[in-house]
Amino acid sequence: MTNREEYIDKLAAQLKEWSASVDELESNARAAKANVKNEYEKQIRQMKDKRDTAFQKLQELKGASTDAWDTLKAGSEAAWADLKNAVAAAKERFKKS
């Protein structure tokens, strides 16, 4: 397996893990009281948008030529950091609820 394939596999595994976190938060939102439920739903929409962006970047990486790889990798890393931060912040915020 090449470094490129390993990198893509690592990102795909992380995306799957974060998707599970989003699903967990969504489940918690359904059980939440009304005053917290709206905040849960807002955070979940934002995380899903970021997850969709990260998934799109992953797809672009999979199809990237060798020449485009470095450029797309940088864009993917930014999307990944954004999603990672959103998931961590939501988990922390709702842990207190």
Q: Give the range of the structural domain holding residue 75, as residue numbers without chain letter.
A: 3-95
Tally of structural domains, the chain? 1
- Region 25-33: mean pLDDT is 81
| Alpha carbons within 13 A on the beta-carbon side of 74 | 3
| Amino acid type, 37 | K
- Mind listing the pLDDT tens digit for each residue in 58-92? 898 888 888 888 888 888 888 888 888 888 888 78
User: What integer pLDDT is reported at residue 41 of this predicted model?
Assistant: 85
Q: How far is CA 84 from the centre of its chain?
A: 6
Going along the chain, which residue ranges are E strands?
A: none
In order of 12, 26, 40, 44, 56, the CA distances from 30 in angstroms are 27, 6, 9, 11, 28
Does the pTM surpass 0.85? The reply is: no
CA distance 39 to 19: 19
Cα–Cα distance between 47 and 37 in angstroms, integer? 15
